[in-house]
Amino acid sequence: MKKSLTTLALMLAFVALPLTTSFAQDARPLTDRQMELIQTNVLANLESPSMEVRATTMQLLIDLKKTYPAYDINFAVLPMMETLKSDEKPEFRILAALTLYHLDSELGRFAVERRAQYDSNDRVARHCSMLARNWGKAAVSTDLIAETQRKF
């Protein structure tokens, strides 16, 4: 019984995967009201004490930028810069740098370059240095967990 349920679950996953990617490619434009709600919620979530909420919000920003590249998501640059500069967890500083990389703003690039030079954690400095070197190229993964655990 367990084997058949596992097989069924795998089959459903394989069927659902192409459907989700086709829906993402056909994303409808966002209304002004939706963008306003997104901005309000993103800014509130980035202030959350929950690490999961903040990390998920950073991934949401990356996904929004990939799905809707024409939309202005620069409202998140300053909070990401603050996280990059002052978060006590190195993993969150790396996530903030990766998010800034994908948001692709000049101000964010400057912040990542500075963290590459001045961060007290060698791992954060290495990640920021790699992001600064590859800025404008498609060489970095969007998998936040993989990026924070990668060793250079």
Q: How far apart are CA 92 and CA 49, in angstroms?
A: 12
Task: Tell me the pTM.
Answer: 0.73
- Please report whether residue 26 resides in a domain: no
Q: Give the mean pLDDT of 107-131.
A: 95
Range of the domain at 64: 43-149
Q: Predicted confidence band at 149 (pLDDT cuts at 50, 70, 90)? A: low
Burial of 56 (0-12, 13-18, 19+ CB in 10 A): middle
- Please report whether residue 30 resides in a domain: no
- Residue 137 is predicted with a pLDDT of 73
- The tally of domains found in the chain comes to 1
Over the chain, what is the mean pLDDT? Answer: 81
- Please report whether residue 6 resides in a domain: no
- Please report whether residue 71 resides in a domain: yes
- Residue 25 is predicted with a pLDDT of 56
- Please report whether residue 16 resides in a domain: no
- Please report whether residue 126 resides in a domain: yes
pLDDT at 70 over 50: yes
Q: Find out whether 70 and 78 touch, Cβ atoms under 8 Å.
A: no
- Please report whether residue 107 resides in a domain: yes
Q: What is the dihedral of CA 119, 120, 122, 125, to 10 degrees?
A: 0
- Residue 139 is predicted with a pLDDT of 54
* 90-104 confidence digits (pLDDT tens): 999 999 999 999 999
Residue that has been written with the tokens 């799905």 in this structure: 67
- Residue 119 is predicted with a pLDDT of 94
* 3-12 confidence digits (pLDDT tens): 543 443 333 3
pLDDT at 147 over 70: no
- Please report whether residue 15 resides in a domain: no
- Residue 30 is predicted with a pLDDT of 84
